[in-house]
Amino acid sequence: MRITKSAAVALFAIATAFGTKGRAQGFPPLPPDLAKQLPPGLIPGFGGGAPTGPSSPSSTAPTSSGKWSGPLPGVPVSGPQPGLAEWTVLVYAVADNDLEGPILDDLDEMERIGSVQGVNVVMEIDRWRPHPASPAASRDDKTNGDWDEARRYFITRDDGSTTIHSLLLDNLGEIDMSHPKELHDFLVWGIKKFPAKRYALIMEDHGSGWKGGFVDEKAPPEPQPIMMSLTEMQSALASGVKDAGIAKLDLFATDACLMSTLEVADAIAPSVKYWVASEELQPGPGYEYTLAIGALAQNPKMDGAGLGKAFVNAMRVGYGKGSQAHDPTVTSALFDMGKIGAVRVAVDNFAKIMAKDLESNKIPMGMASEVVDTFGPRTDPISGPKDGFADLVQVAAVVRDTSSKADAKASATAVIAALDASRLDKHNGDDRTHARGMSIWLPPPEVVSKGLPHYRKTPFGKVSPWADLLQMYGNAFAVSTAPKVTNITVGKNAGNPFGGERPVSADIDGEVRNAVVVISQDFLGTKVPVEIFGVTDPSLYKKIPEGPGVTAWKKGKNTVSAKWTPMYATLQGKGGMEFPLVVNRARVDATSFDADVGLRVIGGPEETVMLRFSMPKGSSGYAGSKLLSGYFIDQVQGQTFYTPFSPAKLPPGKVAFEPRFSLIDPSGKSSQIKVPLIQVKWDKLDDLKVVQRPMLPGKYDITVIAEDFNGHVGVGKSSTTIP
């Protein structure tokens, strides 16, 4: 769910706006699109049937679309079951941070189903209590007694309220759930106390891929501060299953952002049979647990692969087309961990072959870092995300199609085959259709040196030749120089000089990784970007079968071109107030965009947030774009973290969005300016619209920015006038 911490000011702002001491009492309305997936009677008033009593028999399993074909699944139980159950589901919920509320909502979802005959569901949850003087104190969820220690619950079916009705088993006091000892102890306790034929572990909280995850804000200073490293997770899982007396967990589900990486897979594979995770930012609500746990209650004899598919399906139904929470950027994938070893062998061989002739292969690697799906936020005006969570299959595919070396092509093909063979199921949103389920760390070369020392401490980074290849690749472009941008021309449109399509072209001389055009307009006396879009040489650009668009840049001069329509997007709210959004489509084939804006409590504090929008398919315009989700932005220990929130849950009439724009200096570096005088407010979410407007008459700066493979930036400027 979710990446590490949110900003304290933002937490205070939203809490103040809500004006509550915690979550609303009473069970929140179930979205109709999810309600229709549930069997009749599961929740009174939903599902289309008369309420069904606690002793209702189980029926058939849900279909692949998530729809149920029978009555209430399973026979609920109120306590640990004697003998050997079919399944024990162990939920490790690290809620000692700003995700306390969403994780308590997950507990509610689990209580809609509860434990049933043959299935034990057990949770360890450590709640949050920020310091009373902290601005975040108002965000503290005060429901259910507002305890802040760690507790263990046997999850039971309840009446649909937000009050915890599950059976309290243990009060552990204040513990550090980011410490591997606590995960180990929970596994041993849960497996021994609730014996079963199969075991599942769910870990939910913040995640940051190979960097680790699962944040406990009360954690004391450790080598890996406040969150569990992959080495710690690996040791906790291995020792936990060993000391509990089992060979492996049948299923491991990570309900956290960006965790479906090869580095994570390599760390957990010795202890896990099947694993489900997401390459992308996980929505705040995470898995739809009513559907996932309900599928198991419906069919307790399913195996680990079957339960993993139920978790993927919960994402498919909860966020797919036609759902109320539709999010086209969502990804989820299920892997057979017995086949991850073959993926590792293929990647290690790929790394050795690439390193053997890096001079020939460095450009394909650098190109892959730029053009494949890379997961996380996309607001950087130059080259998008720098974190380097790059889709592994797409990386190999770019090398296969652009390297001149036969051995590199063959080894890349082997990586694709091994990864595809290990993946059993996946769901990709409309805007992540080419994601193949697992990423690997491949950042731009200029970023490698900063992250590599930490990367080498991961189990994968310690031993895989991939880390050595990254070091060589990071150094390979050290002597490069910035490209030169000249001859920028902006054509006219005789038929429509005001808003008609205009050709833009420029010459770029040098080693090129990517190029963008930035359109800037005078706004309150300052030139600010209003649109960013990628440019290429159309004759050198092609799409490869796995999805990325690749430009085979020539050595020396390249001529790039694009079509520019002088239209821009605005975010409009109640009363028609609106402000421009800086639409960043640095990738030529982008169909979604992120924008940084201010989020302010009316009359109160303001914090920067990132908003994610989808764009209409088959259109270069912005009308009809949909606001999908928002993310608080926080700087923690030198890293940027994003905590998701749902715009639909912001209190109408009490908060507003405000413009924030990036300025780009002659070197290509960007900085932000705020414009607090303009506020977009709303009474209902439908008041918020993305509107396409013709650019106002006046002079516009046309800036072409080209990057080489080491992040050196060349900038050229021109101007045009809209009459």
pLDDT tens for residues 541-575? 999 999 999 999 988 899 999 888 888 888 999 98
- Residue 128, judged by CB atoms within 10 A of its CB (0-12, 13-18, 19+), counts as buried
CB 455 within 8 A of CB 441: yes
Taking residue 69's Cβ as centre, other Cβ atoms within 10 Å add up to 11
Q: What is the largest CA-CA distance in the chain?
A: 82
Write down the pLDDT at residue 600. Answer: 84
Q: Same domain for 682 and 714? A: yes
Distance CA 130, CA 142 (A): 12
Q: Are residues 491 and 463 in the same domain?
A: no
Structural domain ending residue among the three candidates 442, 475, 508? 475
The verdict on residue 94 lying in a domain is no
Q: Examine the domain organization and report whether 516 and 658 are in the same domain.
A: yes
Instruction: Give a yes or no: residue 211 inside a domain.
Output: no
Cα-flanking dihedrals φ and ψ of residue 393, to 5°?
Answer: -65, -45
242-268 confidence digits (pLDDT tens): 999 999 999 999 999 999 999 999 999
Structural domain contains residue 219: no
CA distance 186 to 180: 10
Q: What is the pLDDT of residue 281?
A: 87
Query: Closest Cα partner for 280 from 395, 393, 437?
Result: 437
Q: Kindly report whether the global pTM for this prediction surpasses the value 0.75.
A: yes
Select from 475, 508, 541 the last residue of a domain. Answer: 475
Give the pLDDT confidence of 325-360 residue by residue, as tens digits.
788 889 999 999 999 999 999 999 999 999 999 999
Q: Is residue 107 included in any domain, yes or no?
A: no
Asked if 590 and 642 sit in the same domain, the reply is yes
Tell whether 450 and 562 lie within a shared domain: no
Q: Which residues pair with 468 in a beta bridge?
A: none
Residue 407 domain boundaries: 341-475
Let me know whether 508 and 572 are in one domain: yes
Are residues 671 and 573 part of one domain?
yes
**What is d(CA 2, CA 105) in angstroms, rounded to the nearest whole number?**
14
**Cα–Cα separations (whole angstroms), residue 438 to 250, 390, 416, 702:** 20, 8, 11, 38
Q: Say if residue 431 is in the same domain as residue 517.
A: no
Q: Which residues in the chain show pLDDT less than 50?
A: 1, 3-70, 135, 222-224, 381-384
Continuous segment of H or E residues that includes residue 197 = strand 196-204
Q: Which of 425, 449, 475 is the last residue of a domain?
A: 475
Question: What is the rounded CA–CA span in Å between residue 336 and residue 362?
Answer: 32
pLDDT of residue 19: 33
Q: Quote the pLDDT of residue 156.
A: 96
Asked whether residue 98 is assigned to any structural domain, the reply reads no
Q: Is residue 544 part of a domain?
A: yes
Per-residue DSSP letters for 130-159?
--TTSGGGGG----TT---SEEEEE----S
Is residue 379 domain-shared with residue 431, that is, in the same domain? Answer: yes
What tokens were used for 266? 């390599």
Token couple for 60: 């058939």
Q: How far from 150 is each of 169, 182, 461, CA to CA, in Å? A: 11, 11, 33
Position 493 scores a pLDDT of 83
Do 429 and 523 sit in the same domain of this protein? Answer: no
In a domain, 250, yes or no: no
Residue 148 lies in a domain: no
Q: Give the H or E element holding residue 277.
A: strand 274-277
Instruction: Indicate whether 469 and 505 sit together in one domain.
Output: no
Number of domains composing the chain: 2
328 phi/psi in degrees, rounded to 5 = -75, 0
Same domain? For 627 and 705 the reply is yes
Label the pairing between strands 526-534 and 583-585.
Answer: parallel
Q: Which of 91, 96, 131 is nearest to 110 (CA)?
A: 91
